[in-house]
């Protein structure tokens, strides 16, 4: 007999998966395609994270944990992990270039704002900015992308001016879908951590809050939407400046052990009220 916790989990899954299923149907992803992917994920997560301490993970163990047959587990674990490396690199590099332009003193003007840059030449240029923060992506390709999304505009004298405070993809669906995976994945991982948090040093809850009211008139949304965007942007820029100083890509002199990912995500939502 399912307990109350199981019923709550099923209800949570319905709320969580409904918008995802809507996206999948809009893009022609069939149930079978999703089912096949879920089988692979079950096998992969069980193999990587549900082993027994001191013992080598086995196909039999994965089969027991997932409910899949041993034959199916062996087949699934032999498959290559799906990748979207191109979208990942494109998003990360563009975001790093904009952040570097805003915070690196070499690329800021006298007032502290991002300086207008020549594309190439002597001194601080856009080419040097890209070289410093984007790895092996060519300056021309980076400029084309930032111009496309409106993050950079070209002045009459030919210099380049930063026109956005962060990288927000325009019509490029691949990068937006990449963000769907990373941002939703991070949020669910945070909630998963908090479900198991017990107050111990390594299991303390992560910060997870939201502001929500469910009886608002439509006329109130525009003002709140604008205020949410402006205040969230200021907070993210402050946190970005704080944590970037500890990132080894930005500051190679940083010492320490291991390699961790940490950040804060903020998102706005609105929809017509529906009873559960």
Classify burial at 193, counting beta carbons within 10 Å of its beta carbon; exposed 0-12, middle 13-18, buried 19 or more: middle
pTM of the model: 0.62
**Average pLDDT value over all residues in the chain:** 86
Assess whether pLDDT exceeds 90 at residue 230: yes
Are 250 and 244 contacting, i.e. CB atoms less than 8 angstroms apart? yes
pLDDT given for residue 75 in this prediction: 93
DSSP run (H or E) holding 275: none
Assess whether pLDDT exceeds 70 at residue 201: no
User: What residues form DSSP beta bridges with 108?
Assistant: 114
pLDDT given for residue 140 in this prediction: 93
Better pLDDT: 229 or 4:
229
pLDDT tens-digit profile of 101-145?
988 889 988 878 899 999 998 889 999 999 988 877 899 999 998
- Name the band, by pLDDT with cuts 50, 70 and 90, for residue 1: very low
Structure tokens, 50? 């549900």
54: phi > 0 → left, psi -120 to 50 → alpha, else beta; which?
Answer: left
pLDDT given for residue 83 in this prediction: 64
Question: What is residue 59's three-state secondary structure?
Answer: helix
- Name the band, by pLDDT with cuts 50, 70 and 90, for residue 39: very high
pLDDT given for residue 170 in this prediction: 62
Assess whether pLDDT exceeds 60 at residue 275: yes
Q: Which long-range contacts (CB under 8 A, 24 or more apart) does 141-148 make?
A: 142/93, 142/94, 142/97, 143/119, 145/90, 145/94, 146/94, 146/97, 146/98, 148/172
């Amino acid at each position: 007999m399912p307990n109350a916790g199981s019923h709550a989990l099923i209800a949570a899954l319905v709320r969580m998966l409904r918008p995802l299923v809507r996206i999948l149907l809009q893009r022609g992803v069939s149930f079978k395609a999703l089912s096949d992917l879920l089988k692979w994920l079950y096998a992969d997560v069980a193999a990587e994270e549900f082993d027994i301490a001191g013992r080598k993970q086995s196909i039999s163990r994965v089969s027991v944990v997932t409910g899949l047959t041993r034959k199916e587990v062996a087949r699934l674990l032999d498959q290559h992990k799906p990748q979207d490396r191109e979208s990942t690199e494109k998003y990360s590099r563009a975001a790093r270039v904009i952040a570097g332009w805003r915070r690196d003193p070499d690329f800021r003007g006298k007032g502290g704002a991002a300086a207008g840059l020549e594309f190439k030449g002597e001194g601080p240029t856009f080419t040097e900015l890209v070289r410093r923060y984007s790895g092996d992506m060519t300056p021309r390709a980076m400029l084309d992308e930032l111009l496309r999304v409106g993050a950079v505009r070209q002045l009459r004298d030919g210099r380049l001016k930063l026109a956005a405070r962060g990288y927000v993809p325009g019509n490029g669906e691949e990068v937006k879908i990449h963000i769907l995976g990373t941002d939703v994945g991070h949020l669910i991982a945070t909630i998963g951590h908090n479900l198991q948090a017990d107050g111990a040093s390594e299991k303390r809850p992560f910060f997870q809050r939201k502001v929500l009211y469910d009886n608002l008139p439509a006329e109130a949304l525009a003002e709140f939407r604008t205020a949410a965007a402006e205040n969230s942007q200021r907070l993210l820029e402050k946190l970005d400046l704080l944590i970037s100083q500890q990132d080894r890509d930005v500051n190679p002199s940083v010492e320490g052990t291991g390699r961790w990912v940490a950040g804060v995500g903020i998102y706005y939502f609105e929809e017509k009220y529906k009873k559960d």
